[in-house]
Structure 1
């Protein structure tokens, strides 16, 4: 629902944090700078966040879901190309994700498959009208769509079988245990059909790495990039997530798979954001920079910090960090560093 309501961080109204001195602070006692920092800047750099209070948003009593797939035989390049043109401009009530994977055809050849899982905050009739006007290339049919309540849509979206009880959402048990690697990029301009073909060919060559494109636009483009540490707002068509999951054990196997994601990430350089090449904090991609939290910590921190937060927000986070945790007690391999002069 981010295209309708922004992110969870945009809807946080209160927080509790234990600071480096062991004090329990709320929004008022911590002040707006620190509150700003822990709503998108990674709370672990500043203290121990005990709780967040999040504003509720309205959802209709009934929502509509669809999930359709297209393969190379079904003009996947044309459909994907059109998605890049429209996904961030669609009705704010409509979120269409695009997942791209390499699959085997019936005769064992590798091919590209795009999956479009979607949530629409409204009914089927309205959705079909929007799709016929804005994205006819997908060829969405009424029979592809299902109306249900929002709770059921969450369960369905995240792969519970139809009709699972609502209480499934309270389960803390992981159903699958896999190893995984995630990377991210931001897409500022649509990729040409020729570009898509070359990317798809590269994916087939690598076999294992997939993409998930999350559409931005809507409410995401209306919120100022300085309102929260998270800066990826107007001007972004989508966030790209690189995905690779595996079940085998062993460091060598892990390194081989992780390297595949790096190869595709490198290949994507001409198509995505640059100076800085932006990234999404939640995927914690250590490939884009690591902090040893020594004398160089500010400069090491700037390498990934500017990618996650862009320059202005990163500098503001560093200021807050220096003020509330001068000795860098709360630190990790990608935490917010203090200003270099803080240690003298």
Structure 2
């Protein structure tokens, strides 16, 4: 396996810039997830690492070697695609061994590699089948097996679970994480699904508009989002935001959301009194209490089984609460709650986090 170093990498299609200078070091054996909405540049970055797209400027090094000009076949990496990309006329065993056969690998080594990968992926009894006789999840495991037998320096995953249903995605996430633990392989995984990112990654690279917004462990991005984009993208249901004006007096502070609503806020010297801010809190951190400081009308109740999502309206602003209290399933015109000070996030007018 190998480390991957990306330095000041940019990509432009014609006159249209897609990536605006990406810097990222992926350590040997690390599982990195590139996450963001469609069009953020994550798949383009992955394809540049694979050699499927040219680098407009900057440098990519794999195991210390510059690979900007290297052909994909010379980079010693394996890619797992969203579309599986299996040969329909070949058996599972032949699909998995194809890259080894074209390299004229001895038959004994091919058999050992295929059988070993099949055992790890639960494909032992499917080796003679063709892709059309497999389920979507089994086909994706074959695609992963084809990558494993090559024993590459790194694995690249391009939204490999997007074509699967929700239950199968959950199962495959667990299999991919278990497999990574067994192989210890350097892996880069692209997804727009923040649940996949949170459950799989050693570190997450959150991207938006061609820029890296934040790099950190899943809980770092959840607990301390660097800006409004990361705060809103990571977590489900998404974070609540209230725009207002920050006021500080001595050791206390508040955000005035409207003439009728003022919320106690964290004290920070990074903001001057009167500054425009956005206050954030995750729905699961809102404290429902009969003696709450705040109240709001309930517009909608969504039971999820594990809990209940309440859709509120605070001075005309949509606001969500997640709770496991099933008593809230009974419709109520209003509900009272508190916003715990230690659970609040504060962002300046530019959308940047301003509290530690």
Assess same fold via TM > 0.5.
no
Greater C-alpha radius of gyration: 2
User: Whose helix proportion is higher, 1 or 2?
Assistant: 1
**Normalised TM-score (structure 1):** 0.29
